[in-house]
Structure 1
């Protein structure tokens, strides 16, 4: 199966007049473009709840869903983020911190275990692991917290791929109070799948003195134990999650260019034939990934299939925009859509798009 990521910077913008209608109908209802932003937001949050909790009974509060929606699609865990997106994330973080989660999170068993880093406010700080690895989408970053053992530890883990291996940077941990963990980095090593031994990480922690010490405050821990917000001694804010949003898993697979078809199939299957909501289709979408889809196993009802009549369009490359003679008609099948992600099939191609956020 041929597959290719979208070219960086390539963007096709579909501008009105664009007629979108169910295949069974011969005309377009203008009223579908008039949905109120507040209604779109409620629908987006409802879809987020369905997506995040697909196959699970986890409950998310609306402020938690607002944070997850704001984070979706941000590249490099915060390395590339538009000012408006950053403002939305910071506002959602502050709302959760003000609301408060579990009191004294360091005393709760819910803080234990492996946490996936999904956002940090300073991915390029002086921390070697942050500066080198955190901003790379194809790497997965985790933090393991073990406080109820004879050897309490906080471990930062970089997983390169299933076939390559990982890097673990470990620190001795001490609980100071209900929110703060004190730590001191003391060892690190690469574990490559193709080597029978570990390779030491080239940082002499014993020679770093106070530079190897730090602290981490947990400012929010959800009552489900699935979302954690922490702030470090260098002023960095971290957002971590135990069970990743399936949409984030999809974006990670696209970034790593591995297993995308399988992730899409699993994702579509989890939606149980949800009917497409046309009121959130209009706008600018960036193509992230496409593939030849002959033989794909995704199945959808005819209610999600639409006839597209394109009368005009434009191609954007950087800051330049060129008119596009794109008259014609084609069939687009919406496999999934929410306020951030669209999965569709056009002719024999399956496409994944990300909505373009305002950059101001």
Structure 2
């Protein structure tokens, strides 16, 4: 009988006899960072309900919060999104557009400045720049709007990294009415950190004629000036934000593979009065990041590209299941129990006790074991940050209570 150690992160430590080829995915060892728990799993007690979760200091209306909530976990600013989540985003966008935001947004000073793109639809008519750069999570995309100057402009900026540089695509801008901005692209250039000069973007805008022209309607501008929804002449919808949600900043950092620990600190410091119980934890979770993998370059994008996704299912009754699909046709699962260790903290005892390796239609039993202590540092409807010893884990909730 094969033996393995299952960890509460959802990954299994395989026995020496099972040696699959290496993978670029994050690797979490079994018991090397779990503290032994002396509390028996059968002594689980329910804690107090979730009192409050703060996603940041910026104030949003309930419909705005619904949009931001729907966008958490969307990859590539809309490049990869499940149909159900896309419906939630579209519904939230339509709700805000039907409400009264800032009237005549093009006449408001709130539209001025730099906006970070957090979501866009991607129709077949999208521009080459949009198709090439916008869907890359590791790039940051901004739109700068300057309408009250001698040279009104809309500038689309793609920041590759702090060490590489950026691409800026500029357009002359004219206000047509309270919602619409007319624009004509006229110049673009790469600004690389390692070159003392700019490199022109190879598009002859002057020769494109009407193809270089377009319009942008602002269909919603929040009264706080933090959220803007715009629709372009090619049928594209854009959702932009000035003050980024700490959760989106964390997911962006995970995708880029840098600054994750700092983003975690910012998010965990924003929580207020959070008390976690089994009702809060219940659901299906996907592991996005583990601190142990940071030095090895592991990120959400590298895990997805390798086809290795780690899932964890927690039931309200304390049953826990970890499922890993390291290779096509191969799955590893481990089952155990999780319970709270007290009513006044967010610490849980995890005990793993059985497991299975499935190759095709054949199953092989695994002897799993291990007891751990897990502390919840932050949790809301979409994100969970936990700590095992000195290591931190980030999970994304993909299904609510099971």
Same fold (TM over 0.5): yes
CA distance in 2: counterparts of 1:121 and 1:325, whole angstroms = 47
Pair 1:9–1:284, CA change in 2 (3 A) = farther
Are residues 1:69 and 2:111 paired?
no
Per the TM alignment, residue 287 of structure 1 is displaced from its structure 2 partner at its CA by 1.1
2:375 matched residue in structure 1: 333
Equivalent position to 2:347, from 305, 310, 334 = 305
Residue in 1 aligned with 2:56?
52
Query: For residues 139-177 of structure 1, what are the alpha-carbon distances to aligned partners after superposition, in whole Å with 9 as ceiling and x for unaligned?
Result: 000000000001000000000111111100000000000
Distance 1:206 1:325, change over 3 A: farther
Aligned-pair Cα RMSD in Å: 3.4
State whether structure 2 residue 44 is matched by structure 1 residue 28: yes
Q: How many Å apart are 1:323 and its aligned residue?
A: 7.8
Q: CA deviation at 1:67?
A: 0.3
* Structure 2 Cα separation of the partners of residues 340 and 252 of structure 1: 15
Partner of 2:100: 100
2:396 to 354, 357, 360: 354
* Cα distance in 1, alignment partners of residues 141 and 363 from structure 2: 37
Report what 2:329 is aligned to.
none
Q: Whole-Å Cα distance in 1 between the matches of residues 100 and 27 of structure 2?
A: 40
Within-5 A mapping of 1:75-90: 75-90=75-90
- Kept after mapping to 1: 8 A contact 2:378/2:386: yes
* Superimposed CA distance per residue, residues 255-314 of structure 1 (whole angstroms, 9 cap, x where no aligned partner): 111121122223223335743354221122111111249xxxxxxx97121111334567
Which of the two has greater helix per residue? Answer: 1
> Whose radius of gyration is greater, 1 or 2?
2
Q: Is the 8 A contact 1:291 1:349 kept in 2?
A: yes
Write the distance in 2 (CA, Å) between the matches of 1:86 and 1:51: 21
Distance of aligned partners of 1:226 and 1:312 in 2 relative to their CA distance in 1, 3 Å threshold: farther
Match of 2:300 in 1: none
Secondary structure at the counterpart of residue 55 of structure 2: helix
Structure 1 stretches of 4+ with a deviation exceeding 6 A read: 6-12, 21-26, 313-317, 320-324
Q: Which residue of 2 aligns with 1:289?
A: 289
The answer to whether the Cα contact below 8 Å between 2:47 and 2:278 also exists between their aligned partners in 1 is no
State the TM-score, normalized to the length of structure 1: 0.80
Question: 338-347 vs 102-111, which deviates more?
Answer: 338-347
Flag the 1:315–1:267 CA change in 2: closer, same or farther, 3 A: farther
**Number of aligned residues:** 321
> With structure 2 as the length reference, what TM-score do the two structures score?
0.72
Deviation (angstroms), 1:61: 0.7
Secondary structure of 1:66's aligned partner = helix
Cα deviations by residue, 1:311-352 (Å, 9 ceiling, x for unpaired) = 4567899xx999865443211111111111111112342111
State how far apart, in whole Å, the 1-side matches of 2:38 and 2:95 are.
40
For residues 175 and 141 of structure 2, the distance between their equivalents in structure 1, rounded to whole angstroms, comes to 23
Q: Distance in 2 between matches of 1:234 and 1:262?
A: 38
Query: Where does residue 215 of structure 2 map in the other structure?
Result: 215
Query: Residue in 2 aligned with 1:189?
Result: 189
The correspondence of residues 156-171 of structure 1 with structure 2, limited to 5 A, is: 156-171=156-171
Kept in 2, the 8 Å contact 1:10–1:286? The answer is no
Change (3 A) 1:307 1:109: same
Which residue is equivalent to 1:15?
none
Structure 2 match to 1:3: none
Task: Supply the distance in 1 between the matched residues of 2:353 and 2:143 (Cα, whole angstroms).
Answer: 50
In structure 1, the residue matched to 2:384 is: 342
